[in-house]
Structure 1
Amino acid sequence: MAGLLPYVNAAVSHRCADVELIWWAPPANQPLEARSSWVYEQVTPVVEKLQAPLLIGKSLGSYGAAVAADRGLPGVWLTPLLTMPACAVALRRATAPFLLVGGATDDLWDGTLARELTPHVLEVDGADHGMQVAGPLRETAEVLGQVMTAVEAFLDDVVWR
C-alpha cells in the first residue's frame, strides 16, 4: 500500500516530532538480499545528525534495523524483509523496542519469526507485501486503519510514553 509511509509520518508529526525523510534510488544491479549494507550506508549519516531518533522503514528500509540495533534505537518496520537473513539478524540484535507490521500472504514475511522477535506485531490475514487484501478496496482501507492503530499505540504506549 503506497499510503503506509505518509500516514506513519503523519502519526509521528501529530506527536510533535520532526520527520527526516530519506529518499533513495536503490542500485538496480544488486539483488534484494545484497542491499543491506547499501541501506546501512544511506541511513547512518541521517541518524548520526539526529537526537534520539525513531527509525521507520518499509520493505527495503527494514534493513535499517541494523542501524537501530547498533545504536539502541526503537523502530517501526512495515512489511520487513524477515526472510532475508541480514534483516532477521539485525532485528535479533535489537535492544530497543520495535513494531513489526506484515501481511500473512507476503513471501517476505514470517509471522512466527516476527512474534519471536518482539511482542509488538501486527500481522494482517490475507494482506500481501503492499498490505493490500483481495476484495473490495474498502477492505484494504480497513487494513490501513489497523496499521495506523497499531503504529499510534506503539508510539504512545512504548516509544513516547
Structure 2
Amino acid sequence: MVVPGGQYGPHAPLLMFAADAAERREAAVEHVEWTNREAALKLSEAELEAWVIGQVSPRLPLGVAGSGLLFIGKSLGTHAAALAAERGHPAVWLTPLLKYRQVVEALERSRSPFLLVGGTNDPLWDGDVARQLTPYVLEVPEADHGMYVPGRLAASAEVLGQVATAVEDFLDDVVWV
C-alpha cells in the first residue's frame, strides 16, 4: 500500500523506487491517490490522522492482519502508521513526521518491523527519536524533507539510490525473509 506525502502523488521517485522494490519481490502494489488534498493540508494534527486513515482504510483488504501487506508511506502518509500498527503490518516510512506526537505514538504501538528514512536537514525528522523507535533507520546527512542534499542534483540522485538499497535490504533481510 503506497501512501503519498502532501506535495506529490504516489508515483514520486522515493515512493516509486520503494514500490518497485516490493513489486520486484512479487508483491501486489496499491497506490493511494488523495482526494481533496488541498483542504486536508489545512487540518490540525489530530484531524490529519483521521483524514489519512479515512482515505486509506477503504483501500485495505479485509482480514489480512499479519499477511503480506506492506505499507510504504511518505510524510503526510505516515499518519497511516496507526493503521499499520493496529493491523500488524510492516512498513517503510519515508521522511516520517517524527515531530507529530500522533505519528510517534502510532510507531511506538507497532509490533511489526518498520524502516524509517529521513535527513538531518528535515525539520520534521528527529534521528534520535527514529533510533529509539526502530533499529531500521537510514539517516542521510544534510538531506531535506524531499531527501535532496546540497550541491548538484547527482548527489540527490545518489541519495535516492541509497534509499532504494535500504528498502531492498529491509524487505529481503527483515520483512520477507
TM-score bucket (shorter structure): over 0.9
TM-score (structure 1 length as normaliser): 0.94
Determine which of 107, 114, 118 is the counterpart of 1:91: 107
1:4 to 10, 14, 23: 14
- Name the SS for the 1:19 alignment partner: coil
Of 42, 47, 58, 1:29 maps to: 42
**Could you say which residue in structure 2 is the equivalent of 1:16?**
26
Q: Deviations over 1:20-79 (max 9, x none)?
A: 111003224314563011111112222234742111100000011000110111010000
Q: How far apart, in 1, do the equivalents of 2:143 and 2:114 lie?
A: 20
Q: Mapping of 1:118-157 within 5 angstroms?
A: 118-157=134-173
Give the % identical residues.
53
For residue 61 of structure 2, what is the aligned residue in structure 1?
Answer: 48
Amino acid at match of 2:123: D
Question: Residue 4 of structure 2 aligns with which residue?
Answer: none
Extract unaligned runs of 5+ from structure 2: 1-7
Q: TM-score, normalised by structure 2?
A: 0.86
Q: Provide closer, same or farther for how the CA distance between residues 101 and 50 of structure 1 changes in structure 2, counting only shifts above 3 A.
A: farther
More off after superposition, 3-12 vs 31-40 = 31-40
**Of 29-38 and 94-103, the range deviating more from structure 2:** 29-38
Instruction: Name the counterpart of 2:82.
Output: 66
In 1: Cα distance, 2:119 partner to 2:149 partner: 9
Gaps of 5+ in 1: none
RMSD: 1.5
The answer (yes or no) to whether the contact 1:68–1:75 under 8 Å persists in 2 is: yes
